[in-house]
Structures are given as C-alpha cells and as structure tokens.
Amino acid sequence: MSRPFENIAFISSTTEETVLVRQKLAHRFGSVPPDEADVIVALGGDGLMLQTLHRHMNSTIPIYGMNCGSIGFLMNEYGEDGLIERLENAELSEIRPLHMSATTSDGKIHEALAINEISVFRQTAQAAKLEIQIDDKVRMEELICDGALVATPTGSTAYNLSAHGPILPIDSPLLALTPISPFRPRHWRGALLANSAKVKLVVKEPNKRPLSAVADHTEIRSVLEVEIREDTENSCIIMFDPEHGWAERILTEQFRY
C-alpha cells in the first residue's frame, strides 16, 4: 500500500496538557493546517471528536482521534510511536449524520446536523407535551415527558443509553427514538425505527410549555416542531485501529454492566 498520509494536521482541545501533546507530535511528525491535510489527528476526548467531525463534514478528510485523559468512546488509545503505521492500518468508517429541521415560533426554520443524537427538552419546569409522527402518520398523540431524542447507532451509547434506550450495533440500519423521563404514557420505552424513517415531533401548547431542540451541541430554543431524518447527502470519516474498531467497541459496550 502506498503511503497515503503525507500531510497530517494535529489539532487538540484547549487544556494545557493536550496543547503540549499537540506541540510535541507536530514537532515530531510535522503538521499542516486541516484544509491541507490528508488526515486529521484529534487529541482530546469525545467532545473534541464530535466538534472535529462536524467541522470537517463532507471534506473527505478522515479523522483519527487519540485519547488524552478520560476514556473516549470515539478515540483510539494514545501513543506516539508507530503513529504513521497506525494511521496506515486504521479502518475507515463512514458516518451519516442526522438532519434536523426545527421550526421556531417566529416562523424561521433552523437546520443542523448531529452525529450522536437530536433531542428536545423542556425549557421550564412545565413538562413537555409532544405529538409523534413517523413518516407523516401520527403514532402517538401525546407524550408527556421531559423530552425525547432520536439517536444514531453511533450515538446509541451516549445520551440514548442514559435515557434507557438500547445500544445499536454500529452497522444496523436503525434509529432509536427514546423518551426522556416519560410521564404519560408512563412506561413507554420508545421505538426502534428503520433509518429511512422521518420523525416529526410536534410541540403542543408551546407557549405554556416551551421546548428547545439540540443537535449534538447546536441548541435551538422555543421550537414548534422538529423534523429528524438520516442525512443522505452529508458524511464524515472516522478512523479506528483494527481490533478496536467500532463494531467491537459497541459489542463490548453491550456486555458492560
């Protein structure tokens, strides 16, 4: 295999420690700006990784994370030696994000992408009331809750798991629709949907019960309705060391307890 990664961009989170790590690696391997790179090496945790994936969406530049500090589900193990070989041997996974189209009370439509999940959550102490439509058909007339979320397989181990949703195998063509602290129906556990499904969450009594919508870290406040579906036009590429690839990570996660 020919050397594919001549130009590496090292980026890091802003903590003193990771900045030092970045400087050391840049000195050793050379570093170019991200838009001139063949590969981006992200040094930090899952937060930085999500940010980087969003920033380089559709750039076709693959992103290789190395974990500095707390354990990162999206990151590879930290190590300086043999980095070039690790990059060459890494497995590439394409990630399709979710697309959110949120209508606010001023009539505007806000679009955003999410790699992990799109969630809605009450802005005040008033519980949320949601109507849930799947492919333009009302499936639940009223869910009283703190909120609800739609997660990708990638995101199924994140907020979705906390909200008692199931972990999805990484290559399963599914989305998880999961209620957050449901009050009525009281024991509804959510649904697994085909990844071709279009989910619409309609906010009831939006003045009395304002909701915000969040696509990964993009928050839109006072939404009236939110449309969510898998984005078929955008994608980004994440790299994992073989033997610790994504399928393996998810499987390991499912047997944790």
- Contact pick of 217, 232, 242, 244 for its own copies (by CB under 8 A): 217
Cα-flanking dihedrals φ and ψ of residue 237, to 5°? -125, 125
How far is the C-alpha of 98 from the C-alpha of 160, rounded, in Å? 14
- Is 58 one of the annotated binding-site residues? no
How far is the C-alpha of 227 from the C-alpha of 135, rounded, in Å? 10
Cα-flanking dihedrals φ and ψ of residue 150, to 5°? -120, 125
185 sits near its own copies (criterion: CB under 8 A): yes
Q: What is the DSSP letter of 196?
A: T
231 sits near its own copies (criterion: CB under 8 A): no
188 sits near its own copies (criterion: CB under 8 A): yes
Strands 236-240 and 117-122: unpaired
Cα-flanking dihedrals φ and ψ of residue 16, to 5°? -55, -40
Residue in this structure with the two tokens 């802003």, named with its chain if needed: 14
Which one of 35, 38, 46, 106 is the catalytic residue? 46
In contact, 90 and 239? CB cutoff 8 Å: yes
172 sits near its own copies (criterion: CB under 8 A): yes
- Is 218 one of the annotated binding-site residues? no
187 sits near its own copies (criterion: CB under 8 A): yes
- Contact pick of 180, 202, 237, 239 for its own copies (by CB under 8 A): 180
Interface with its own copies (CB under 8 A), residue total 43
Pick from 176, 47, 55, 57: nearest CA to 117: 176
- Is 36 one of the annotated binding-site residues? no
Q: Is 216 a catalytic residue?
A: no
How far is the C-alpha of 146 from the C-alpha of 124, rounded, in Å? 10
- Is 81 one of the annotated binding-site residues? no
Nearer to its own copies by Cβ, of 117 and 225: the residue is: 117
133 sits near its own copies (criterion: CB under 8 A): no
28 sits near its own copies (criterion: CB under 8 A): no
Site for its own copies, rule CB under 8 A: 125, 132, 134, 139-140, 145-146, 159, 161-164, 166-169, 171-174, 180-183, 185-194, 214, 217, 219, 247, 251, 254-257
> Would you please indicate which residues are annotated as catalytic (active-site) residues?
46
